[in-house]
Homo-oligomer: A and B are copies of this chain.
Amino acid sequence: MSFEITILGSSSALPTSKRFPTAHLLKVDERFFLIDCGEGTQIQLRRFRVNPGRIHHIFISHLHGDHVFGLFGLLSTMGMMGRKVPVGLYGPERLEDMMKQHFSFFGSLPFGIDFHCPTPGDEGYLYEDDRLTVSTIPLKHRTPTFGFLFREKKRLLNVRKELIQAYGLGIADLVKVKAGEDFVTGDGKVIPNSKLTFPPYKQRSYAYISDTVYDPELSDRIRGIDLLFHEATFADRDKKLAEATRHSTAGQAATIAQQAGVRKLLIGHFSSRYRDYAHLVEEARRVFSNTEGVNDGDVYSIPLERVSTE
């Protein structure tokens, strides 16, 4: 039962030989979700031994090349590998037009694409399955841009196995007990739920925020999450440049993490103007100590933990 982020690309607009353009891969219980798809994403997937055919949902934050130019090759490769099942593609409104225009030059795919565009103001889920929800986080960049919050659904209570037989619980009883109800035995004795169950695993959560100017309102949307990726294109000394280009500094990313009370912060999307990124991480850690700067190939796993009963 994994909940694991792999950094496929960590550069900003100009890639380097060690940092590919932006792409993250989220693996939740053997389901793969791709978040942004910079040039070379399919090559990074091969490098890190992920079969592109296992990706069924791709989330695109915005239509700047360093977040989307890998989509053409990845989708083409999926087609050449014989894919038949559709891919869900989630992103700004123009993404659909852009891809359709692209296919008019390079031919259509042997599988469908289900386009989903986040609706501003809609508080519903952009994506939902039996285990996970994805919410949209509106960002403030130079073009329509969205962050994404991935959160596991609330898990049911776990029933103590030795008591299932002891009290003769049937399937219908189990469903009720897992949902929190007490159990009444055949002779009318009430067994309290707390005696029958132990706490379920916590809902794990990951938010992806790239690209955006510093926006204190973001904190409310990601309060208390486990893992936050927030872009940190610039060092604090280049704050004015960050504002002008609608990006954030390392310190600003850390301020969001600190105000939102997240457990861990990842920063990346570093400008190639900095030869060394250590000082950006240092700046962030002064505000929020549990910060790491990401590199291509880094894997961050959120462990399973029981809900505290205290």
A interface secondary structure, majority: helix
Please tell me if A268 contacts chain B, counting CB pairs below 8 Å: no
Please state if B63 and A16 are interface contacts (CB–CB under 8 Å): no
Compute how far the CA of A24 lies from the CA of B47 in the bound complex, rounded to whole angstroms. 22
Q: Name A55-74 residues within 8 Å CB distance of B.
A: 63-66, 69-70, 72-73
> Chain copies in the assembly?
2
> In this complex, what residue of B is CB-closest to A47?
B17
A172 to chain B, nearest CB (A): 51
A interface, how many residues as a size bin? 20 to 34
- Tell me which residues across on chain B come within 8 A of A14, comparing CB atoms: 77, 80-81
Of the residues B42, B66, B80, B106, contact of A63 by C-beta under 8 Å: B106
What 0/1 readout, one digit per residue, does chain A (92-113) give for beta carbons within 8 Å of chain B? 0010011001100110000000
Q: Beyond A21-B73, A39-B43, A98-B105: 14 further Cβ-contacts under 8 Å?
A: A13-B76, A13-B77, A16-B46, A20-B43, A39-B39, A39-B40, A39-B69, A39-B70, A39-B73, A65-B73, A65-B106, A66-B73, A69-B73, A101-B101
Per CB-CB distance, the 4 closest pairs between chain A and chain B, nearest first, are: A17-B47, A39-B73, A40-B40, A17-B46
Compute how far the CA of A259 lies from the CA of B76 in the bound complex, rounded to whole angstroms. 36
Known contacts A65-B76, A73-B69; is-contact A43 B40 (Cβ 8 Å) = yes
